Amino acid sequence: MTQDAILANAILILPGETRRGGLRLKDGAIAEILDGAEVPAGALDLDGDYLAPGLVELHTDNLEQHLQPRPGVNWPHAAAIIAHDAELAGVGITTVFDAMRVGSINSGDRTTDYARYARPLATELLAMRATGALRISHFLHLRAEVCSETLIEELDEFDEGDRVGLISLMDHTPGQRQFRDVSQLEKYVKGKFNVDDAGFAAHIARLHELRARFGDDHEAAAVAVAGRLGAVLASHDDTTAEQVETSARYGIRLAEFPTTIEAAAACHEHGIKTIMGAPNLIRGASHSGNVAARELAEADLLDIISSDYVPSALLTSANVLADLWDDLPRAIATVTATPAAAAGLADRGHIAPGMRADLIRFRRMGGNAVLRETWVQGRRVA
Protein backbone atom coordinates (compact mmCIF):
# COMPACT_ATOMS: atom_id res chain seq x y z
CA MET A 1 0.00 0.00 0.00
CA THR A 2 1.19 3.51 -0.82
CA GLN A 3 1.47 6.22 1.80
CA ASP A 4 -1.70 7.93 0.47
CA ALA A 5 -4.74 5.79 1.19
CA ILE A 6 -8.17 5.54 2.78
CA LEU A 7 -8.83 2.94 5.46
CA ALA A 8 -12.59 2.58 5.77
CA ASN A 9 -15.31 0.77 7.72
CA ALA A 10 -13.35 0.28 10.94
CA ILE A 11 -14.02 0.72 14.63
CA LEU A 12 -11.62 3.53 15.46
CA ILE A 13 -10.02 3.48 18.91
CA LEU A 14 -9.77 7.17 19.74
CA PRO A 15 -8.82 8.92 22.99
CA GLY A 16 -11.60 7.98 25.40
CA GLU A 17 -13.98 6.45 22.86
CA THR A 18 -14.55 4.04 19.99
CA ARG A 19 -16.61 4.84 16.93
CA ARG A 20 -17.28 3.58 13.43
CA GLY A 21 -15.28 5.37 10.79
CA GLY A 22 -12.15 5.49 8.71
CA LEU A 23 -8.98 7.46 8.06
CA ARG A 24 -7.55 9.28 5.09
CA LEU A 25 -3.74 8.99 5.05
CA LYS A 26 -1.46 11.37 3.19
CA ASP A 27 2.33 11.69 3.14
CA GLY A 28 2.75 9.27 6.02
CA ALA A 29 0.34 11.07 8.36
CA ILE A 30 -3.33 10.98 9.28
CA ALA A 31 -5.00 13.66 7.16
CA GLU A 32 -8.65 13.21 8.15
CA ILE A 33 -10.96 11.13 10.33
CA LEU A 34 -14.01 9.87 8.44
CA ASP A 35 -17.31 9.00 10.12
CA GLY A 36 -19.53 6.02 9.40
CA ALA A 37 -19.18 2.66 7.68
CA GLU A 38 -19.08 3.97 4.10
CA VAL A 39 -16.32 2.54 1.89
CA PRO A 40 -15.32 5.13 -0.75
CA ALA A 41 -14.08 4.00 -4.12
CA GLY A 42 -10.49 2.81 -3.89
CA ALA A 43 -10.54 2.57 -0.10
CA LEU A 44 -9.44 -0.49 1.87
CA ASP A 45 -12.48 -2.01 3.58
CA LEU A 46 -11.47 -3.03 7.12
CA ASP A 47 -14.71 -4.98 7.54
CA GLY A 48 -15.49 -3.66 11.02
CA ASP A 49 -12.09 -4.51 12.52
CA TYR A 50 -10.55 -2.28 15.17
CA LEU A 51 -8.13 0.38 13.97
CA ALA A 52 -5.76 1.60 16.69
CA PRO A 53 -2.48 3.51 16.95
CA GLY A 54 0.65 1.44 16.46
CA LEU A 55 2.04 -0.02 19.66
CA VAL A 56 4.91 1.79 21.44
CA GLU A 57 7.39 -0.50 23.23
CA LEU A 58 9.68 1.07 25.84
CA HIS A 59 11.46 -1.97 27.27
CA THR A 60 12.11 -5.18 25.36
CA ASP A 61 14.90 -7.73 25.64
CA ASN A 62 13.91 -9.22 22.30
CA LEU A 63 16.92 -7.99 20.32
CA GLU A 64 19.28 -9.58 22.85
CA GLN A 65 17.39 -12.86 22.47
CA HIS A 66 17.99 -12.75 18.71
CA LEU A 67 21.67 -11.94 19.29
CA GLN A 68 22.12 -14.98 21.51
CA PRO A 69 19.41 -17.53 20.68
CA ARG A 70 21.17 -20.15 22.81
CA PRO A 71 23.74 -19.81 25.62
CA GLY A 72 27.14 -19.37 23.99
CA VAL A 73 25.66 -18.91 20.49
CA ASN A 74 26.33 -15.43 19.08
CA TRP A 75 24.23 -14.63 16.01
CA PRO A 76 25.38 -12.13 13.34
CA HIS A 77 24.19 -8.66 14.31
CA ALA A 78 22.60 -7.70 10.99
CA ALA A 79 20.58 -10.91 10.77
CA ALA A 80 19.47 -10.54 14.39
CA ILE A 81 18.39 -6.91 13.88
CA ILE A 82 16.39 -7.73 10.74
CA ALA A 83 14.62 -10.65 12.42
CA HIS A 84 13.87 -8.59 15.53
CA ASP A 85 12.50 -5.71 13.47
CA ALA A 86 10.26 -8.00 11.39
CA GLU A 87 8.96 -9.78 14.49
CA LEU A 88 7.95 -6.52 16.13
CA ALA A 89 6.19 -5.28 12.99
CA GLY A 90 4.35 -8.61 12.85
CA VAL A 91 2.90 -8.15 16.34
CA GLY A 92 1.84 -4.52 15.88
CA ILE A 93 4.78 -2.68 17.45
CA THR A 94 5.58 0.37 15.33
CA THR A 95 7.96 2.18 17.71
CA VAL A 96 10.53 0.40 19.86
CA PHE A 97 13.16 1.45 22.36
CA ASP A 98 15.70 -1.36 21.94
CA ALA A 99 17.17 -2.30 25.32
CA MET A 100 20.97 -2.62 25.34
CA ARG A 101 23.01 -3.18 28.47
CA VAL A 102 25.83 -0.76 29.23
CA GLY A 103 28.20 -1.67 32.05
CA SER A 104 30.24 -4.88 31.99
CA ILE A 105 32.08 -7.22 34.37
CA ASN A 106 35.45 -8.54 33.27
CA SER A 107 36.66 -10.47 36.31
CA GLY A 108 37.77 -13.53 34.40
CA ASP A 109 34.84 -15.73 35.42
CA ARG A 110 33.44 -16.79 32.06
CA THR A 111 30.19 -18.07 33.53
CA THR A 112 28.92 -14.82 35.05
CA ASP A 113 30.97 -12.04 33.39
CA TYR A 114 29.13 -9.59 31.14
CA ALA A 115 30.93 -8.64 27.94
CA ARG A 116 30.66 -5.22 26.25
CA TYR A 117 28.45 -5.07 23.17
CA ALA A 118 26.17 -1.99 23.17
CA ARG A 119 28.24 0.51 21.16
CA PRO A 120 28.99 -1.69 18.11
CA LEU A 121 25.44 -3.06 18.11
CA ALA A 122 23.97 0.45 18.24
CA THR A 123 26.22 1.58 15.40
CA GLU A 124 25.07 -1.28 13.21
CA LEU A 125 21.39 -0.80 14.05
CA LEU A 126 21.50 2.93 13.33
CA ALA A 127 23.30 2.33 10.03
CA MET A 128 20.63 -0.15 8.96
CA ARG A 129 17.93 2.34 9.91
CA ALA A 130 19.62 5.06 7.85
CA THR A 131 19.61 2.85 4.75
CA GLY A 132 15.89 2.05 5.08
CA ALA A 133 16.45 -1.60 5.92
CA LEU A 134 14.11 -1.57 8.93
CA ARG A 135 10.32 -1.57 8.93
CA ILE A 136 9.54 0.24 12.18
CA SER A 137 10.86 3.19 14.19
CA HIS A 138 13.84 2.37 16.46
CA PHE A 139 15.26 4.30 19.42
CA LEU A 140 17.86 3.16 21.94
CA HIS A 141 17.21 2.26 25.56
CA LEU A 142 20.45 2.04 27.50
CA ARG A 143 20.15 -0.19 30.58
CA ALA A 144 22.81 1.23 32.87
CA GLU A 145 24.12 -1.57 35.11
CA VAL A 146 25.25 0.01 38.38
CA CYS A 147 26.92 -3.24 39.56
CA SER A 148 29.57 -3.26 36.85
CA GLU A 149 33.12 -2.13 36.17
CA THR A 150 32.86 -0.18 32.92
CA LEU A 151 29.58 1.74 33.01
CA ILE A 152 30.99 5.25 32.78
CA GLU A 153 33.30 4.58 29.85
CA GLU A 154 30.55 2.72 27.98
CA LEU A 155 28.05 5.56 28.50
CA ASP A 156 30.63 8.03 27.23
CA GLU A 157 30.69 6.21 23.88
CA PHE A 158 27.21 7.61 23.05
CA ASP A 159 26.39 11.10 21.83
CA GLU A 160 23.40 13.23 20.83
CA GLY A 161 23.13 11.67 17.36
CA ASP A 162 22.53 8.14 18.62
CA ARG A 163 18.75 8.31 19.18
CA VAL A 164 19.13 7.39 22.85
CA GLY A 165 15.61 8.00 24.10
CA LEU A 166 15.70 6.21 27.43
CA ILE A 167 18.30 5.42 30.11
CA SER A 168 17.31 3.20 33.02
CA LEU A 169 19.19 2.74 36.28
CA MET A 170 19.63 -1.00 36.80
CA ASP A 171 20.79 -2.04 40.27
CA HIS A 172 20.88 -5.82 40.59
CA THR A 173 22.63 -5.89 43.96
CA PRO A 174 21.52 -9.17 45.60
CA GLY A 175 19.11 -8.79 48.50
CA GLN A 176 17.18 -5.78 47.20
CA ARG A 177 14.87 -4.64 44.36
CA GLN A 178 14.13 -7.45 41.89
CA PHE A 179 16.22 -9.96 43.82
CA ARG A 180 15.45 -9.03 47.42
CA ASP A 181 14.69 -12.75 47.73
CA VAL A 182 18.19 -14.08 47.00
CA SER A 183 16.78 -17.57 46.43
CA GLN A 184 15.08 -16.25 43.29
CA LEU A 185 18.43 -14.91 42.05
CA GLU A 186 20.06 -18.25 42.89
CA LYS A 187 17.57 -20.13 40.71
CA TYR A 188 18.09 -17.65 37.87
CA VAL A 189 21.91 -17.66 37.93
CA LYS A 190 22.28 -21.39 38.42
CA GLY A 191 19.76 -22.09 35.67
CA LYS A 192 21.25 -19.67 33.16
CA PHE A 193 24.97 -20.11 33.83
CA ASN A 194 25.07 -23.63 35.27
CA VAL A 195 27.16 -22.62 38.30
CA ASP A 196 27.53 -24.56 41.55
CA ASP A 197 27.08 -23.28 45.11
CA ALA A 198 30.64 -21.96 45.31
CA GLY A 199 30.31 -20.18 41.97
CA PHE A 200 27.05 -18.57 43.02
CA ALA A 201 28.52 -17.40 46.33
CA ALA A 202 31.46 -15.85 44.48
CA HIS A 203 29.05 -14.11 42.09
CA ILE A 204 27.07 -12.63 44.98
CA ALA A 205 30.22 -11.39 46.69
CA ARG A 206 31.47 -9.82 43.46
CA LEU A 207 28.22 -7.88 42.91
CA HIS A 208 28.23 -6.55 46.47
CA GLU A 209 31.84 -5.47 46.07
CA LEU A 210 31.12 -3.71 42.77
CA ARG A 211 28.12 -1.88 44.27
CA ALA A 212 30.24 -0.68 47.18
CA ARG A 213 33.09 0.51 44.93
CA PHE A 214 31.22 2.02 42.00
CA GLY A 215 27.49 2.23 42.73
CA ASP A 216 27.08 5.87 43.73
CA ASP A 217 29.44 7.14 41.02
CA HIS A 218 27.70 5.03 38.39
CA GLU A 219 24.26 6.31 39.33
CA ALA A 220 25.45 9.91 39.18
CA ALA A 221 27.11 9.33 35.80
CA ALA A 222 23.97 7.76 34.29
CA VAL A 223 21.83 10.67 35.47
CA ALA A 224 24.30 13.15 33.98
CA VAL A 225 24.51 11.31 30.65
CA ALA A 226 20.71 11.22 30.39
CA GLY A 227 20.72 14.98 30.71
CA ARG A 228 23.51 15.35 28.14
CA LEU A 229 21.72 13.15 25.60
CA GLY A 230 18.24 14.50 26.27
CA ALA A 231 17.05 11.00 27.23
CA VAL A 232 14.19 10.17 29.56
CA LEU A 233 15.47 8.70 32.82
CA ALA A 234 13.86 5.59 34.31
CA SER A 235 14.26 3.61 37.52
CA HIS A 236 14.08 -0.17 37.66
CA ASP A 237 12.54 -2.51 40.24
CA ASP A 238 11.75 0.12 42.88
CA THR A 239 10.69 -1.68 46.07
CA THR A 240 10.36 0.95 48.81
CA ALA A 241 9.03 4.48 49.11
CA GLU A 242 12.57 5.58 49.98
CA GLN A 243 13.89 4.27 46.66
CA VAL A 244 11.12 6.19 44.87
CA GLU A 245 12.12 9.35 46.78
CA THR A 246 15.62 8.92 45.34
CA SER A 247 14.16 8.45 41.86
CA ALA A 248 12.18 11.66 42.21
CA ARG A 249 15.31 13.59 43.23
CA TYR A 250 17.07 12.31 40.11
CA GLY A 251 14.22 13.62 37.94
CA ILE A 252 13.08 10.13 36.93
CA ARG A 253 9.80 10.07 34.98
CA LEU A 254 9.32 6.33 34.51
CA ALA A 255 9.44 3.41 36.94
CA GLU A 256 10.04 0.07 35.25
CA PHE A 257 8.52 -2.91 37.05
CA PRO A 258 8.03 -1.66 40.62
CA THR A 259 8.09 -4.75 42.81
CA THR A 260 5.57 -3.70 45.49
CA ILE A 261 2.28 -1.85 45.87
CA GLU A 262 4.13 0.54 48.20
CA ALA A 263 6.59 1.54 45.50
CA ALA A 264 3.93 1.90 42.81
CA ALA A 265 1.79 4.12 45.05
CA ALA A 266 4.82 6.26 45.88
CA CYS A 267 5.55 6.62 42.16
CA HIS A 268 2.08 8.01 41.54
CA GLU A 269 2.47 10.43 44.45
CA HIS A 270 5.58 11.79 42.71
CA GLY A 271 4.06 11.87 39.23
CA ILE A 272 6.21 8.97 38.01
CA LYS A 273 4.56 6.67 35.46
CA THR A 274 4.69 2.96 36.23
CA ILE A 275 5.54 0.27 33.68
CA MET A 276 4.69 -3.38 34.20
CA GLY A 277 5.45 -6.42 32.08
CA ALA A 278 2.86 -7.98 29.79
CA PRO A 279 3.99 -11.53 30.67
CA ASN A 280 3.36 -10.75 34.35
CA LEU A 281 -0.17 -9.54 33.53
CA ILE A 282 -1.01 -12.46 31.25
CA ARG A 283 0.48 -15.14 33.53
CA GLY A 284 -1.11 -13.56 36.59
CA ALA A 285 2.16 -13.36 38.51
CA SER A 286 5.75 -12.13 38.45
CA HIS A 287 8.34 -14.78 37.59
CA SER A 288 10.57 -13.22 40.31
CA GLY A 289 7.93 -13.43 43.03
CA ASN A 290 7.18 -9.69 43.07
CA VAL A 291 3.84 -7.87 42.87
CA ALA A 292 1.42 -8.97 40.14
CA ALA A 293 0.68 -6.46 37.38
CA ARG A 294 -3.01 -7.25 37.72
CA GLU A 295 -2.90 -6.11 41.35
CA LEU A 296 -1.53 -2.73 40.27
CA ALA A 297 -4.12 -2.48 37.49
CA GLU A 298 -6.94 -3.13 39.97
CA ALA A 299 -5.51 -0.44 42.26
CA ASP A 300 -5.25 2.12 39.41
CA LEU A 301 -1.46 2.13 39.76
CA LEU A 302 -0.63 0.77 36.29
CA ASP A 303 0.13 3.26 33.50
CA ILE A 304 2.16 1.49 30.80
CA ILE A 305 2.65 -2.08 29.63
CA SER A 306 5.91 -3.41 28.17
CA SER A 307 6.22 -6.70 26.31
CA ASP A 308 9.49 -7.32 28.24
CA TYR A 309 10.59 -10.67 26.79
CA VAL A 310 7.51 -11.70 24.70
CA PRO A 311 6.77 -9.19 21.90
CA SER A 312 3.37 -10.65 21.02
CA ALA A 313 2.28 -10.15 24.63
CA LEU A 314 1.90 -6.38 24.19
CA LEU A 315 -1.36 -6.42 22.22
CA THR A 316 -2.59 -9.43 24.19
CA SER A 317 -2.04 -7.57 27.47
CA ALA A 318 -4.07 -4.58 26.26
CA ASN A 319 -6.88 -7.02 25.50
CA VAL A 320 -6.62 -8.39 29.07
CA LEU A 321 -6.80 -4.88 30.52
CA ALA A 322 -9.77 -4.01 28.30
CA ASP A 323 -11.73 -6.82 29.94
CA LEU A 324 -10.45 -6.01 33.43
CA TRP A 325 -11.31 -2.32 33.19
CA ASP A 326 -14.24 -2.71 30.77
CA ASP A 327 -12.62 0.12 28.82
CA LEU A 328 -10.88 -0.65 25.52
CA PRO A 329 -9.60 2.90 24.80
CA ARG A 330 -8.04 3.13 28.27
CA ALA A 331 -6.39 -0.26 27.83
CA ILE A 332 -5.01 0.58 24.38
CA ALA A 333 -3.58 3.83 25.76
CA THR A 334 -1.26 1.81 28.04
CA VAL A 335 0.54 0.50 24.95
CA THR A 336 0.20 3.57 22.70
CA ALA A 337 -0.51 7.11 23.92
CA THR A 338 0.88 6.86 27.45
CA PRO A 339 4.27 5.32 26.57
CA ALA A 340 4.63 7.71 23.62
CA ALA A 341 4.00 10.74 25.83
CA ALA A 342 6.25 9.41 28.60
CA ALA A 343 9.08 9.05 26.09
CA GLY A 344 8.55 12.57 24.76
CA LEU A 345 7.15 11.49 21.38
CA ALA A 346 4.37 13.93 20.54
CA ASP A 347 3.80 12.75 16.95
CA ARG A 348 2.40 9.29 17.64
CA GLY A 349 0.37 7.21 20.08
CA HIS A 350 -3.17 8.26 19.24
CA ILE A 351 -5.37 8.74 16.19
CA ALA A 352 -5.80 12.39 15.24
CA PRO A 353 -5.19 14.55 12.16
CA GLY A 354 -1.51 15.42 11.79
CA MET A 355 -0.25 12.39 13.75
CA ARG A 356 2.01 9.76 12.18
CA ALA A 357 0.05 7.10 10.32
CA ASP A 358 1.42 4.34 12.56
CA LEU A 359 -1.59 2.05 12.83
CA ILE A 360 -2.71 -1.48 13.54
CA ARG A 361 -5.78 -3.41 12.46
CA PHE A 362 -7.04 -6.18 14.73
CA ARG A 363 -10.15 -7.99 15.79
CA ARG A 364 -11.11 -9.55 19.10
CA MET A 365 -11.88 -13.24 18.77
CA GLY A 366 -12.58 -15.64 21.61
CA GLY A 367 -11.00 -13.36 24.19
CA ASN A 368 -7.89 -12.81 22.07
CA ALA A 369 -6.70 -9.86 19.99
CA VAL A 370 -5.83 -11.07 16.48
CA LEU A 371 -3.59 -8.70 14.51
CA ARG A 372 -4.50 -8.32 10.85
CA GLU A 373 -2.24 -5.53 9.50
CA THR A 374 0.41 -3.00 10.61
CA TRP A 375 1.22 0.35 8.99
CA VAL A 376 4.19 2.65 9.67
CA GLN A 377 3.84 6.19 8.29
CA GLY A 378 1.05 4.92 6.06
CA ARG A 379 3.09 2.07 4.58
CA ARG A 380 1.93 -1.46 5.23
CA VAL A 381 4.79 -3.35 6.93
CA ALA A 382 3.01 -6.51 8.13
**Mean pLDDT for each consecutive 10-residue tract of the chain (382 residues)?**
84 98 97 96 97 97 92 91 98 98 78 81 97 98 92 96 96 63 61 67 74 84 96 95 95 95 97 97 85 97 97 97 97 98 97 98 90 97 97
Contacts of 333 (CB under 8 A, 6+ apart): 15, 350
Domains of the chain and CATH, by start: 1-52+350-382 (2.30.40.10), 55-348 (3.20.20.140)
For 194-240, give the DSSP string: ---HHHHHHHHHHHHHHHHHHHHHHHHHHHHHHHHHTPEEEEES--S
The CB density around residue 300, as the number of other CB atoms within 10 Å, is 11
Pairing outcome for strands 359-365 and 368-376: antiparallel
What is the pLDDT at residue 1? 47
Q: How many helices (H) and strands (E) does the chain have?
A: 13, 16
- pLDDT for 216 equals 86
State in Å, rounded, how far the first CA of the chain is from the last one: 11
Cα separation, 224 vs 219, whole angstroms: 9
Instruction: State phi, psi for 361 to the nearest 5 degrees.
Output: -115, 125
Report how far residue 312's alpha carbon sits from residue 89's, in angstroms, rounded to the nearest whole number.
Answer: 10
284-290-295 Cα angle (round to 5)? 50
pTM for the structure as a whole? 0.91
